[in-house]
Chains A and B, each alone.
Chain A
Amino acid sequence: MKAILKIEHLSKNFYLHEQQKLISSCRNISFELDKGSFIGIVGTSGAGKSTVLRCIYRTYLATEGHVWYNSLAYGPVDLVNADERQIINLRRAEIGYVSQFLAILPRTTAFRHVTDAALEAGFSQAEAEKRAAQMLDYFRLRRDLWGLYPATFSGGEKLRLNLAHAMVKAPRLLLLDEPTASLDPDTKLLVRDLLLKLKNEGTSMLGIFHDLEFMEGLCDRVYNLSQGSFTE
């Protein structure tokens, strides 16, 4: 398998028992992501963009289809029906997910949030702290914020912390769910530069963006998702 990620005929329906309603989100989606490339997904709200990403991350159980991921640890794995423990281990070490929301335990400082992610990926304490510091510097989070609880951060700071948290374990595959929504143009540019740098370092990425300008020069391919199906 050459591609790092190969999606075959992915469909996702939600069945709501209480309302007895079947909601179809995305239908028959197939594409491939080559190693080190960047695919952008665009589409109107509710088109099923996030659903595709979440099916890949296994937050959602796909109704049909396969998501083949070429992992270092286990070789090719179908993320749709892989063992849960495998998914957990892959999330720790290989697959990163960034959304615009920050999920963090209360009473955890920004620095520890990032250090913990590195520890989870298996780095030693000293190494984890070193990497966390590098990452936070890389994403230009002011050093006087490191010891604070991120609940008080601005949107842009939270986002950059989110990216640092995902990137500190150096994932091979990064899933980006509208990471630049609600950011000012300057911060967007900063994030764009950083993503470009990551791409050049060999990280494969799949991202959802609303901003076509942002994607120019960054994405190798752009897919448009409308009414649940894909066009290139």
Chain B
Amino acid sequence: MQTVKNNKKEKPILEVRGLTVRYGQGCDYCLNGQPLLKNSCPHCKTVWACNDVNLELYPGEILGVVGESGSGKSTMMKSIYFDFPVTEGSAYLQAYGAGKANMFAATAQQKKYIRNHMMGMVYQNPVLGLRMDYSAAGNIAEKLIAAGGRNFGSMTARASQLLEAVEILPGRMKEPPKNFSGGMQQRVQISKALANNPQVLLLDEVTTGLDLSVQAKVLDLIRRIRQEFGVSILLVSHDLAVIRMLADRTVVMLEGKIIERGLTDQILDDPQHPYTQQLVHSLL
């Protein structure tokens, strides 16, 4: 049996073109693409957090994003999730305007719709993704209500189903996440992000700070949700072992730019860029 489709070109589910996030006005020097000092302009001190980032995410794919702290990984993720306004660039989601409309140019109302129906985000810091005083089920209900859910019974059923999928005991769904351990909070965030069956899941350092056994649980969960829900995942991680295990392809970011991209095992076993080599050689 052969299942590889014959169409030569697959359509990406998410396409990001020329994403640039700039803090500051910019000056003649840096706006004309002159070399920067790290990621900031030596003249006007404008910070270029993301600088002309291009990427494609294909259906059912996990795309890894690695890079040092401050390289713009989280800025990129948050821009895609509309948390930060972008300075320049466009992004196309297959579910939005058949992949032809730039979602950064959408109205506030449309952005809210895209955010609630088509994307899910898991932040490095659970405080950003969860309301710590609401119950775990309430957090999921918040997302369901945002997408138009009004029936208490069906929302409760959906919440318990999702929490069960991430191995949170049903007896604890009425407790607020502030009572939960870090790993549990992260798992509640994942179930919240999955609430409306998004096509794209943005995972920002989900395993950082978790002990090994909990980390294994979360990794297992990520792979399972890809299999069961068929979502495409953008996975930011510092942990190259996590990237190797999960990601199909990987991009490497440095100073706001993507400096290398390729198949994950190629990036890790045959890195081309000096920074990537340094990164891989720093592995324990």
Contact = CB atoms under 8 A, between A and B. Distances in A.
Contacts of B8: 74
A18 to B, nearest CB: 6
Interface string A94-113: 10000000010111100000
Interface string B212-229: 100011011001000100
Contacts of A121: 1, 3
B220 A107 contact: yes
Interface in A46-103: 54, 58-61, 72-74, 84-85, 87-90, 92-94, 103
Given A17-B278, A88-B249, 19 more contacts: A15-B272, A18-B274, A18-B277, A73-B6, A74-B6, A84-B262, A84-B263, A85-B10, A88-B61, A103-B245, A105-B219, A106-B212, A106-B216, A106-B220, A107-B219, A107-B220, A121-B3, A122-B3, A170-B1
Contacts of B245: 103, 105
A33 to B, nearest CB: 20
Interface in B1-54: 1-6, 8, 10
Interface residues of B, number: 34
B270 A61 contact: yes
Interface residues of A, number: 33
A17 B272 CA distance: 9
Given A60-B269, A60-B270, A122 B1 contact: yes
Most buried by A among B219, B245, B248, B270: B270
A115 B248 CA distance: 18
Interface in A14-37: 14-18
B142 interface: no
Contacts of B246: 105
Nearest to B281: A18
Given A84-B249, A87-B263, A88-B248, A54 B269 contact: yes
Interface of A is mostly: loop
Contact of B2 (A84, A93, A107): A93
Contacts of B1: 121-123, 170
Given A18-B278, A92-B4, A93-B4, A58 B220 contact: no
B265 interface: yes
Interface string B197-235: 000000000000000100011011001000100000000
Interface string B178-197: 00000000000000000000
Nearest to A91: B263
Contacts of A206: none
B237 to A, nearest CB: 14
B113 interface: no
B272 A61 contact: yes
Contact of A105 (B6, B223, B269): B223
B4 A60 contact: no
Given A14-B270, A59-B266, A89 B4 contact: yes
Given A60-B266, A119-B227, A73 B4 contact: yes
A14 B266 CA distance: 13
B58 interface: yes
B243 to A, nearest CB: 12
B37 to A, nearest CB: 21
A119 to B, nearest CB: 7
A177 to B, nearest CB: 12
Contacts of B3: 93, 121-122
Q: List 6 tightest A-B contacts by C-beta distance, closest first.
A: A122-B3, A73-B4, A17-B274, A106-B216, A60-B270, A89-B4
Contacts of A103: 244-245
Given A59-B265, A59-B270, A17 B249 contact: no
Nearest to B58: A85
A190 B244 CA distance: 31
A39 to B, nearest CB: 23
A23 to B, nearest CB: 12
